[in-house]
Amino acid sequence: MTYLSFREYVLGAAKIGIGLGAVSILARWVTGNTIFGSPEALVKYGIFGGIGFALMGAVALCFFGLLGRRVRREFSEGMTIGDYLQGKLHPFGYWLMIILLLLTTIEAMFVQGMAGGVLLNILFGLPIPLGLLCFFVFSVLFAGIGGIRSIHRFAIVQIVITFAAAILIPVYFFIGKGVEHVYNGLRLYHPYLLVASNKEGLLFIVTGLLIGFGQVFSDQASWQRLYMMEEKKIVPTFLLSGLIFATVPLAFSSLIIIVIFTGGFDDIYSLMFDLVRKIDSMFLLVLFVLCSFGAIMSAFGAGLHSMISLMVNNVYQLFRPRATERQKIRTGYMLAIMIGAVSFGLTSYFKPTLLDLLFFFGIIYASLILPLIVIVWSRGKASNFILISAVVGQAAGYVSRAFVDPMKAIWIASFATAFFLVGYLSITWLWRRYFRTA
Amino acid sequence: MISFEGFTLLILLFILAPIIGAIALLFLFIFEKRIDLLENKNVKIELEKELQQALYNQLNQQIQPHFLFNTLNVILSLARLNRTKELVRALEVLSQFLKFKYKSTEPLISLAREIQYTEQYLEIQKLRFGHRLHITLECADDLLTASIPPFVLQTLVENAFKHGLERKMGDAVLQIHISRQADDVLLVVADNGSVDLAAFEHENGTDSEAEQPHEKSGHGLDNIRRRLHLCFGDHAQLQLESSSEGGTRVIVQWPCIFEHVDVR
């Protein structure tokens, strides 16, 4: 795939419309996490856990459209979140933010890599390291080397397959088993899933919203998609993407009910294995496998591509301002291979569960929401203290994990950030109003 | 505990949600280009309307110097003849006339107002021609509120003097007849002046040479034609003919509208 400029590699040759924009955003956000995380949320927090999982990304995407419109109005010529932040932050704040962004992208790609390896293991009995290697090689080729054109082509196919799976598999199962049987089975084996006043489930929904906002607002791939479309189409595209996105985790969380209504289960991975075994139609099985791989691969690809864009455009170019377009594209290719190798190493070494990982990095996401909103809504350059408040919140969150459960640690992180940020903003407001004018 | 009915509803939601999502996405892919196309068409139409409005306003502005120079020539001739009394009166009428001109910015005005301003112009001519000038103005009362682009009648009358009655020896007759013909208003301005259609048309920019936009832009009849076309499209027409008894007849026809409308 040949690109004439690095801009074309990052954003494509022409602006995309609402349809392709929504598909591109969905391909980024319908991830391994959506397919495997939503059943996990349902098992842990009841039926409303599944709904909360759907809501967390959907609401965040809808609101990101509003933020995005302002970003585009203020700075329309950028390509990445880094371009915008370069204009809005002082050097210290800029580099701090770049480090935080790289951390969150590595997490996002790590999750997808892990899900891909596990899936290959479940489906084909392939040793996890070999499965991971296949997954990373293919992802680096299609997204890192293929660029945005290849990502968008793959996104359309992936979304068609995802919706086919999300529609056909639940319909097939619920018609085959009968809703009443499923309900009676759940009442017998897992009555806690049917509890309506589940306080922990409610807390999960609210915490999920917090994490979802942080994930979307600091996601480089979503920022990149802001610059791919016309300004007037940003709000409708993100709004529709959010609403359509919510439907996918709902469908996949309903699938797990089919698996557990006939008895107990050992762990979340065995549930996925049971689900695959229960799909007795070959067509639906192939559809499910393709859908899962497509989701994981497209999310990993979008993460990889946006990370390359950020590193070349906002790190490499600052050190090599005279680099030609060809040099930038070549650096991008090299970075793709390097990031693929690092991701392979990380996923081979660490083995957390998806929700564990979500809660661990949720602290970074939750503490980034308010500072990012304040940066976008502040006039001119934003102070370094705004980002320092995020770091303070993250420190408070990680320290508190030793004493409280992971979900509460996320709340502590976001409250600490909010407290520090509001304190700083109040002091600067008072200073401007009463001292500087005097 | 969630009841069976509640559970069924939730499962229904879980099943229907992706179907609705897929339909929404499909709808976007199929119709987005059409919606964009319609939107672009609307923008184009709006721009065309704006352009027409600007062109119309420009034409309205052009007619004013045309009239002003002709009137100043009339006043100059009164001054040369030392007809001070008439000169003062002419300046008074001109002042009243200009007051209207610079106030009037509407694309369409009522016939009553147009007649009133034309009468002010005729007042000046009466001072020059004295008892030699015979004017007949007929307009049905119900047509007084009909709309007309400003300065149409006044420009035709002005042209009648300039190209016909100025050179006429003896009695100068000017007839203005406004009537209703089906859904249209019919305006006839006839004079018994000398017939010099070629010069008349050239002056008014209707011959082939004068078809150049810049050439004809300053001329009366062509200006009227273009303004009528901008306002009413092909529904309005202007004809120029020499009358059998000598003199010239200008016939203008346009749709009868009784209220002020936005020409855009």
Looking up residue B180, the CATH number of its domain turns out to be: 3.30.565.10
Of A22, A194, A248, the CB nearest to B7: A194
Q: Determine the CATH number of domain A6-351.
A: 1.20.1730.10
Of A19, A159, A174, the CB nearest to B15: A174
The answer as to whether B99 is a domain residue is yes
Of the candidates A40, A67, A141, which has an alpha carbon nearest to the alpha carbon of residue A375?
A: A67
**C-alpha to C-alpha distance for A149 and A157, rounded to whole angstroms:** 13
The answer as to whether B226 is a domain residue is yes
Confidence of residue B262 (pLDDT cuts 50, 70, 90): very low
Question: Which tokens hold the place of B207?
Answer: 């011959």
How many domains does chain B fold into? 1
**C-alpha to C-alpha distance for B205 and B195, rounded to whole angstroms:** 17
| Other beta carbons within 10 Å of B230 | 18
**C-alpha to C-alpha distance for A213 and A219, rounded to whole angstroms:** 10
What pLDDT does residue B185 have?
92
Cβ <8 Å between B2 and A47: yes
What residue type is assigned to position A92 of the chain? F
Distance from CA of B69 to the nearest CA of A (A): 51
Q: Is B40 on the interface with A (CB under 8 A)?
A: no
What is the sign, positive or negative, of the torsion defined by CA atoms of B105, B111, B113, B117? positive
Cβ <8 Å between B2 and A250: no
Report the half-sphere exposure of A209 (CA within 13 A, side-chain side). Answer: 11
Mean per-residue pLDDT of chain B = 79
The DSSP 8-state label assigned to residue A191 in this structure reads G
**C-alpha to C-alpha distance for B137 and B109, rounded to whole angstroms:** 18
Q: Would you say the ipTM is above 0.90?
A: no
| Other beta carbons within 10 Å of A23 | 25
Which residues are A308's β-sheet partners? Answer: none
**C-alpha to C-alpha distance for A192 and A198, rounded to whole angstroms:** 9
Q: For an interface test with B, which of A34, A168, A254 has the most B Cβ atoms less than 10 Å from its Cβ?
A: A254
The answer as to whether B82 is a domain residue is yes
Nearest chain B residue (CA) to A173: B15
Classify each residue of B158-186 as buried b or exposed e, where b means 16 or more C-beta atoms within 10 Å of its C-beta. bbbbbbbbbebeeebbbbbbbeeeeebbb
All residue ranges of chain A with pLDDT < 70 are 1, 268-269, 351-355, 436-438
Antiparallel, parallel or unpaired: β B172-181 and B237-242: unpaired
**C-alpha to C-alpha distance for A209 and A57, rounded to whole angstroms:** 7
What pLDDT does residue A57 have?
82
What pLDDT does residue A164 have?
93
**C-alpha to C-alpha distance for B233 and A90, rounded to whole angstroms:** 61
Domain range spanning residue B184?
65-255
Task: Let me know: does A16 contact A231? Beta carbons within 8 Å.
Answer: no
What pLDDT does residue B213 have?
37
**In chain A, positions 158-177, which contact chain B (CB-CB < 8 Å)?**
159, 163, 166-167, 170-171, 174
User: What are the CB-based long-range contacts (under 8 Å, 24+) for B261-264?
Assistant: B261/B108, B261/B147, B262/B107, B263/B52, B263/B53, B263/B56, B263/B107, B263/B108, B263/B230, B263/B231, B264/B49, B264/B50, B264/B52, B264/B53
**In chain A, positions 9-48, which contact chain B (CB-CB < 8 Å)?**
17-19, 22-23, 26, 47
What pLDDT does residue B216 have?
35
A248 contact residues in B (CB cutoff 8 A): 18, 21
Of B14, B29, B32, the CB nearest to A170: B14
Cβ <8 Å between A250 and B1: no
Q: Is A196 on the interface with B (CB under 8 A)?
A: yes
Question: Which tokens hold the place of A24?
Answer: 């591109």
Cβ <8 Å between A22 and B2: no
Is the per-residue pLDDT at B214 higher than 70? no
| Other beta carbons within 10 Å of A265 | 16
Cβ <8 Å between B1 and A194: yes
**C-alpha to C-alpha distance for A363 and A346, rounded to whole angstroms:** 20
Q: What angle (nearest 5°) sits at the alpha carbon of residue A105, between those of residues A55 and A400? A: 70
A167 contact residues in B (CB cutoff 8 A): 15, 18-19, 22
Is the per-residue pLDDT at B209 higher than 60? no
**In chain B, positions 4-33, which contact chain A (CB-CB < 8 Å)?**
4, 6-8, 10-11, 13-15, 17-22, 24-25, 28-29, 32-33
Confidence of residue B263 (pLDDT cuts 50, 70, 90): very low
| Other beta carbons within 10 Å of A263 | 11
**C-alpha to C-alpha distance for A226 and A61, rounded to whole angstroms:** 12
Q: At B102, give phi and psi (nearest 5°).
A: -80, -15
Is the per-residue pLDDT at B261 higher than 70? no
B32 contact residues in A (CB cutoff 8 A): 17-19
Nearest chain A residue (CA) to B3: A194
The answer as to whether B117 is a domain residue is yes
Of A167, A196, A243, the CB nearest to B2: A196
**In chain B, positions 56-75, which contact chain A (CB-CB < 8 Å)?**
none
Question: How distant is the alpha carbon of residue A431 from its chain centre?
Answer: 39
Q: At A41, give phi and psi (nearest 5°).
A: -65, -40
Query: Domain locations in chain A?
Result: 6-351, 357-438
| pTM as predicted | 0.68
Give the model confidence (pLDDT) of B57-69 as tens digits.
666 666 666 667 7
Strands ordered across the beta sheet of B184-191: B133-139, B172-181, B184-191, B248-255, B237-242
Report the half-sphere exposure of A276 (CA within 13 A, side-chain side). Answer: 22
Q: Is B136 on the interface with A (CB under 8 A)?
A: no
Q: Is A289 on the interface with B (CB under 8 A)?
A: no
The answer as to whether B73 is a domain residue is yes
3-class SS string, chain B: CCCHHHHHHHHHHHHHHHHHHHHHHHHHHHHHHHHHHHHHHHHHHHHHHHHHHHHHHHHHHHHHHHHHHHHHHHHHHHHHCCCHHHHHHHHHHHHHHHHHHHHCCCCCEEHHHHHHHHHHHHHHHHHHHHHHEEEEEEECHHHCCCEECCCHHHHHHHHHHHHCHHHCCCCEEEEEEEEEECCEEEEEEEECCCCCHHHHHHHCCCCCHHHCHHHHCCCHHHHHHHHHHHHHHHHCEEEEEECCCCCEEEEEEEECCCCCCCCC
Give the model confidence (pLDDT) of A280-337 as tens digits.
888 888 898 888 888 888 888 888 899 899 899 888 888 888 888 888 888 989 988 8
| Other beta carbons within 10 Å of B35 | 12
Q: How big is the A-B interface in CB pairs under 8 Å? A: 81
The answer as to whether B52 is a domain residue is no
Which residues 6+ apart lie within 8 Å of A266 measured at CB?
Answer: none
Residues in chain B: 264
Radius of gyration in angstroms for the set of CA atoms belonging to chain A, rounded to a whole number: 22
What is the sign, positive or negative, of the torsion defined by CA atoms of A139, A142, A144, A149? negative
Q: At A339, give phi and psi (nearest 5°).
A: -65, -40
Give the range among A182-186, B23-27, B153-157, B200-204 with minimum mean pLDDT: B200-204
Higher pLDDT, B264 or A229: A229
**C-alpha to C-alpha distance for A176 and A381, rounded to whole angstroms:** 60
What pLDDT does residue A354 have?
66
Of B7, B19, B33, the CB nearest to A167: B19
Which residues are A184's β-sheet partners? Answer: none
What pLDDT does residue A191 have?
82
